[in-house]
Amino acid sequence: MTPSTIALLVLLVVTFAWSGYRYWRVLRPLTHAAAEDRFDQPLRRVWGVITNVGGHTRLLRIRYAGVFHLLIFSGFVVLLTALVEEFGRGLFPGFSLAAIGGDTWIALLQDIFELLVLVGLAMAAYNRYVSRPERFRGSNQRDATIILILILSEMASLLLRHTFQIAEGHDPSAAWSPVSSALAGLAGTVGLHGAAAQPWAEVFYWTHILAILIFLPYIPTSKHLHIFVGIPNIYFRDLGPRGTLPDADLSQPSVGVKDVHQLGWKQMLDLFACTECGRCQDVCPAFAAGQPLSPKLLIMDLRNHLREQEGIGPRPTAAGGSQMLGDAISDDTLWACTTCRACMEVCPLHIEHIPKIVDMRRQLVEQGRMEHQLQDSLASLARYGNSFNQSERLRSRWTRELGFTIKDARKEPVDVLWFVGDFASYDPRVQRLTRSVARVMTRAGVDFGILYEGERNSGNDVRRVGEEGLFEMLAQHNIETLKGCQFKRIMTTDPHSLNAIGQEYPRLGGNYPVLHYTQLLVELLERGDLKPNREQEIVATYHDPCYLGRYNNGYFAPRRVLELLGIKLHEMPRCRENSFCCGAGGGRIWMDDGEIKERPSENRIREAVSLGDARYFVVACPKDAVMYTAAVQSLGMEGRIEVVDAIELVEAALEPEVAPVAVA
Amino acid sequence: MHIAVILKQVPDLVEDVEVDASGIDIDRDRVAWKLSEFDDHALEQAVLLKEGGGVEVTALALDAAGVDQLLYSALARGADRAQKVPTPDRRTDAPRAAAALAPVLRGMGVDLVLTGVQAADDLNGQLGPILATTLGWPHVSVVSGVQLAGAAAQVQQEYSGGRMATLEITLPAVLGVQAAARPPRYVPISRLRQVTASAQIVSAPLAAEAAPLSTAVSCLAASEQGSRAHMLEGEPEEIAEQIVDVLRERGFVGARG
Amino acid sequence: MKGVLVYIEADGDRVAPISFELLMAARRLAEQLGGPVEALVASADPEPLAEQLGAADTVVAVTSPALAGYIPEAHQEVLVDAIRLRQPAVVLVGYTSAGIDLAAGAATAVQLPVVAYCISLRAEGNEVVADSLLYGGKLVATTRTQLPAVFSVVAGAFPEAARQPGGAGERIDMSTPSALGQLRTRLVGISSAGGTVDITKAERIVSVGRGIGGPDNIEAARELAAALGAELAASRPVVDSGWLPRERQVGKSGMTVKPKLYLAVGISGAPEHLEGMRGAGLVIAVNTDPRAPIFQAAGYGTTCDLCDLLPALSARLRESG
């Protein structure tokens, strides 16, 4: 054994031992974490890894960053061969990959990709130090710099090693290594060829080895851990329906999560997978409003807290020092979330921010750590089944001005059972839209009925606030009422109710086909039950509600309605799955606004107005109608854009009802 | 330190309160009952004092419709024990309530009694002063702050005009609470369910017959005093228009133009 | 037993207005029942107060340094002694903080019935027929009570008796109850609301009640107040919930205001609130419940929802300049 072999062996053993210990310290909490069942549907899971990792689907949504990441990533994959070669040669003299093309096409690929990685690094450095995107605000810049430097060292030393090997003159892969050969030529011009090149080859060999051996133990407490954790994290992602939250066992004395060790293993794995890229932060409406929530910082803070608890990381403190709930993550941070799901939609590593937030909220609710307006709303929901502190009897008061009676679905069978929703029933600003829906459906001849006082708040946002017991109480009441009814399907004007009934009620025994009213409108329009006058020269923009769009894939129906009305749709930049939340979800509408820079709803209206030609801002959710109308008023833009619900456009396009003419 | 809180349910005024066929009482079957607002504050104040340490809280209520649920929610709110107190003829007006409660309280070793300053239906007097005088204890009503100080309590009593007095009262005593230091807290439904499933409500023995009152309701009717307002109708825009017209007429708003 | 005994409340050296209302009620009852109107003054220095009570036939005074400030226990002892000594047919106490302490407490001590929240009183033989407001002012209970009895009277139910200086015809000095030497209650101090705003001086007021729903909607009310040049005020539940400070509270346990314009938004009109604003000039009430008692105290009203009405009204007012 040569001295260098022994040296390499010793280095390897020491590094692996030291790294192994560090990886173990960092990842050990996973072994004690709560169970989670993510072992189903392996083929589907693998496919997700292939598209997300191989295809870089989410990463490429930010084109520039996706491209340079792809360069660096694919470089790493290809250069694994170089890793094998370098260590193989170092430990086993004579080791070579020549038999499988190590001197030919593998060498070519290595050469090209070394260059590509360097290009990628240059692009990355430009991004981080010159462009400085906002999403990096709060991310650990030092960690990022160290990583870029280490990658640069690896690439540069690898390339230079090949260069000087070729310059030495005995490298069989020279013909297949254009970049290294060119550099070798350059080296030759300063006399570094032949024997003079050999020591440099050695130097860069050891530089490369050292770079790797320094990187390896650095990774566990760096965001670069994602290279190991990322693929498992994507594999074990949540395949369940988007609109459900993790179950809570109410028979236990306590629900929710207040200590980081109560997290399930996949929830914890998320913390190690985060690359601090900030895509989630960029799309978060709470963050944009200046509230103390950034999904990225939430994950980073949880990760840092876990490290602290384990006594490892930048600033290890004694275990059991600060609390997760309240110290590491503040109450205000948790309450600021609207549960719009934009963060989870864009995260390249499929990190699950919302389940963690809701699980922590469950503890806050249990401990009574809620602002009083929220407490009052919950008390109202518990007592009256609505958040308006109004009697159940008044739920159907909006029907009085209709001039006709709507069927009581509790008493007679109907084709469509219309679950009206709280805001549509009680809020005077929305009641006129509800009446519009009633009139249009009657004109179309739909056989529908409502539950009158039998309806309660669907419980969707109560669940998102973390009050599981109240959610179950409301849901069970609604399901009991529905059990006594005969209908073919449920229709609702409220996407939050849609989500609750369609996604959350099944596990409580309520399995009903449910559709959004825009979907019903498409049916009625396409079938000819509604005949709109299509001669309208209107340009409108449409806002995708979070719980219809992202949560329930309801992008098509509202757009089809507009199309069938002959309305020209001018999409906003943030549309479909990138829609920007109005700020009312997750129980936020029951909370005080607090200190905000700019309301998300106002941010959104300005986006719509900047389109230039959109006369109408079309909504399909009662809370959106309320929030955006208020935003237009507070921005003083009444003349520039008008908030209309899809149903208003439909009704306006119908021929006025013709009264029977008396024969003279 | 043992604090007793006396709770009672009253009709929920969010709903309509109708007079029954007899014409002298409300229709008790069609009424939605809820914890009297000021009793709610009294309970909250008791729990806040308990959180200061060294205090046990017992919630008491007369045995009337819904009393079990009332006491379970008191336990879920933080009371340590709950007790039902029966009355001979199920009447819950203050004089008879005091007669039933006094022997129970005497037997319990209570240092401080908190109850709401008044209730929506306490035609025959407020419970706090009546109970205190029956027990021979001092009392203060319209209390918006309580601090415990050994064998005494410091309390803030509200007067009109935003003025407030601080009094020191030797225990045992009775306080009629108007407002707790913080608004009453919400109890998660899951805790309420757990308490309902697991807790015990003790029932006190039946008290002796109390003397009948020499006052009786002869008629109960909807309130119609004074002249009614001129009601404005129409869309919000129209009503706003009418209001501005009225204001202009009376000189509150300048003439148009 | 004879006559009517009135418990007099004082604000320093000045007899409180409600006491003059009680003296008027007492006079009317005494005319029906026979017997004198007697005014009970408990004070460290009853002279200045007795001076103002010419509307009574007799002033019954108890003088003691223990009565320097209002202490419930002390005043209850005095009232109890006075009832035992003077044996009135009717005892009148005002529905105030002190009234809540004393009416029911003293009645219990002397084993007399007590009827609360009275807005009218009329004698019939040896009974008094009283109307009382219950359930937040939504229902009126008419009671018949055998005398002797104690009645607690709501402010504003009776007009004030004329203030005749020179004191009443007769003056009786009652001896100090011995219990005053063994009080278990002590007055530590008195404070005022303080704060930066004095709503009692405002000529126009926009007042919000529980119906406002929450702090967010208070913004709309604030804007309306600004558009009207009015001060913002609130009923007790709004203040107790922490949405507005106590210095803006109108009502029995808040401020009494007499503005020229009072806009009541989302206020139900419980007697305790009405008491604080009944002297207002033009009252306009907004409440979705058509049976809310506030409409009996208002000149104009609407059941339009305040979420719609407030912005519309503010906009109109800004246009009108």
Using the predicted structure, report yes or no on whether residue A119 has a pLDDT greater than 50.
yes
Provide the CATH topology of domain A531-653: Rossmann fold (3.40.50)
Tell me which H or E stretch contains A610: none
pLDDT, tens only, A598-628: 899 999 999 999 999 999 999 999 999 999 9
At residue C298 the predicted structure's pLDDT band, cuts being 50, 70 and 90, is very high
Provide the CATH topology of domain C4-182: Rossmann fold (3.40.50)
ipTM of the complex: 0.91
Using the predicted structure, report yes or no on whether residue A548 has a pLDDT greater than 90.
yes
Whether B193 sits inside 8 A of A469 (CB atoms) is yes
d(CA A505, CA C152): 55
In chain A, % of residues over pLDDT 70: 97
Non-local CB neighbours of C114 within 8 Å, separated by 6+ positions: B124, B125, C103, C104, C107, C108, C149, C150, C151, C152
The owner of tokens 């979907």 is: A519
The strand order across the sheet containing C231-234 reads B230-231, C300-302, C282-286, C261-265, C204-208, C231-234
Q: What was the pLDDT predicted at A320?
A: 47
pLDDT, tens only, A361-404: 999 999 999 998 899 999 999 999 999 989 999 999 999 989 99
- CATH number for A261-369: choose from 2.30.60.10, 1.10.10.10, 1.10.1060.10, 1.50.10.10: 1.10.1060.10
Token output for A632: 């237009």
Q: What was the pLDDT predicted at C321?
A: 62
Helix then strand then coil, % of chain A, to nearest 5: 60, 5, 35
Nearest residue in chain C measured CA to CA from B123? C116
At residue C169 the predicted structure's pLDDT band, cuts being 50, 70 and 90, is confident
- DSSP states of C243-292 as a string? SS-GGGBBSTTSB----SEEEEES----HHHHHHHTT-SEEEEE-S-TT-
Look up residue A101 and give its amino acid.
G
What three-state secondary structure class fits A193?
Answer: coil
Provide the CATH topology of domain B2-203: Rossmann fold (3.40.50)
In chain C, % of residues over pLDDT 90: 72
Token output for A395: 């739920």
What three-state secondary structure class fits C193?
Answer: coil
Q: Quick check: bond before C148 cis, omega within 30?
A: yes
Q: What was the pLDDT predicted at C219?
A: 87
Bridge partners (DSSP) listed for residue B231: C301
Whether A373 sits inside 8 A of C242 (CB atoms) is no
Looking at residue A105, the DSSP 8-state letter turns out to be H
Q: What was the pLDDT predicted at B193?
A: 92
Nearest residue in chain C measured CA to CA from B18? C139
Task: Dump strand ranges (E) for A207-282.
Answer: none
**Pairing state between β A539-542 and A616-619:** parallel
- DSSP states of A6-35 as a string? HHHHHHHHHHHHHHHHHHHHHHTHHHHSBP
* Gap from A584 CA to chain C (nearest CA, Å): 13
pLDDT, tens only, A412-469: 999 999 999 999 999 888 999 999 999 999 999 999 999 999 999 999 999 999 999 9
Report whether A275 contacts A346 (CB < 8 A): no
Nearest CA to A347 among A229, A237, A461, A243?
A: A237
pLDDT, tens only, C240-294: 888 898 889 999 888 999 999 999 999 999 989 998 998 899 999 999 888 888 9
* Gap from C309 CA to chain A (nearest CA, Å): 11
The strand order across the sheet containing A489-492 reads A407-408, A448-450, A416-419, A489-492, A514-516
Report whether A209 contacts A89 (CB < 8 A): no
Q: What was the pLDDT predicted at A317?
A: 47
Using the predicted structure, report yes or no on whether residue B225 has a pLDDT greater than 70.
no
Nearest CA to B219 among C271, C112, C130, C92?
A: C130
Token output for B108: 């319990």
pLDDT, tens only, B198-221: 888 888 887 776 677 778 898 999
Query: Is B189 an 8 Å CB contact of chain A?
Result: yes
- Domain boundaries of chain C, sorted by first residue: 4-182, 199-320
Query: Is B193 an 8 Å CB contact of chain A?
Result: yes
* Inter-chain contacts counted by CB atoms under 8 A, chains A and C: 20
Distance of CA C20 to the CA centre of its chain: 12
In chain B, % of residues over pLDDT 90: 68
* Gap from C100 CA to chain A (nearest CA, Å): 29
Report whether B154 contacts B168 (CB < 8 A): yes
- DSSP states of C190-207 as a string? EE---SS--GGG-SEEEE
Using the predicted structure, report yes or no on whether residue B257 has a pLDDT greater than 50.
no
- Between B200 and C94, where is the model more confident? C94
Contacts with C256 from chain B: Cβ below 8 Å: 160-161
Compute the mean pLDDT over every residue in chain A, rounded to the nearest whole number. 91
Report whether A234 contacts A48 (CB < 8 A): yes
Q: What was the pLDDT predicted at A495?
A: 97
Query: Is B166 an 8 Å CB contact of chain C?
Result: yes
Q: How many Cα atoms within 13 Å fall on the side-chain side of residue B60?
A: 26
What phi, psi does C305 have (nearest 5°)?
-70, 135
For residues C110-129, give the mean pLDDT.
94
* Gap from B10 CA to chain A (nearest CA, Å): 14
What three-state secondary structure class fits A367?
Answer: coil
Q: How many Cα atoms within 13 Å fall on the side-chain side of residue A579?
A: 25
Nearest CA to A49 among A225, A227, A223, A237?
A: A237
Q: What was the pLDDT predicted at A664?
A: 45
Contacts with A376 from chain C: Cβ below 8 Å: 214, 241
Token output for A229: 């954790």
At residue B168 the predicted structure's pLDDT band, cuts being 50, 70 and 90, is very high
Q: Domain C199-320 sits in which CATH superfamily?
A: TPP-binding domain (3.40.50.1220)
In chain A, % of residues over pLDDT 90: 74
Bridge partners (DSSP) listed for residue B116: B177
Nearest CA to B39 among B73, B14, B68?
A: B73
Helix runs in A539-613, H state only: 556-564, 600-609
What three-state secondary structure class fits B118?
Answer: coil
Q: What was the pLDDT predicted at C25?
A: 96
Provide the CATH topology of domain A388-524: Rossmann fold (3.40.50)
Non-local CB neighbours of A17 within 8 Å, separated by 6+ positions: none
For residues C212-235, give the mean pLDDT.
89
- Domain boundaries of chain B, sorted by first residue: 2-203, 227-257
Query: Is C241 an 8 Å CB contact of chain A?
Result: yes
Nearest residue in chain A measured CA to CA from C213? A388
**Pairing state between β B9-11 and B2-7:** unpaired
Contacts with A638 from chain B: Cβ below 8 Å: none
Q: What was the pLDDT predicted at A319?
A: 45
Q: What was the pLDDT predicted at A195?
A: 82
* Gap from C187 CA to chain B (nearest CA, Å): 5
List C-alpha distances in Å: C232 to A420, A438, C184: 36, 40, 41
Query: Is C58 an 8 Å CB contact of chain B?
Result: no
The owner of tokens 């370098």 is: A86
Query: Is C103 an 8 Å CB contact of chain B?
Result: yes
At residue A657 the predicted structure's pLDDT band, cuts being 50, 70 and 90, is low
**Pairing state between β C114-124 and C149-153:** parallel
* Gap from B233 CA to chain C (nearest CA, Å): 7
Look up residue A120 and give its amino acid.
G
In chain B, % of residues over pLDDT 70: 96
Using the predicted structure, report yes or no on whether residue C65 has a pLDDT greater than 50.
yes
Burial label, B132 (beta-carbon count in 10 A; 0-12, 13-18, 19+) = buried
Q: What was the pLDDT predicted at A638?
A: 86
Whether A388 sits inside 8 A of C241 (CB atoms) is no
Query: Is B249 an 8 Å CB contact of chain C?
Result: no
Please tell me which of the candidates C100, C261, C285 has its beta carbon nearest to residue B252.
C261
Residues of A with CB under 8 A from a CB of C: 372-373, 376, 388-389, 427-429, 592-593, 633
Using the predicted structure, report yes or no on whether residue A318 has a pLDDT greater than 50.
no
pTM: 0.91
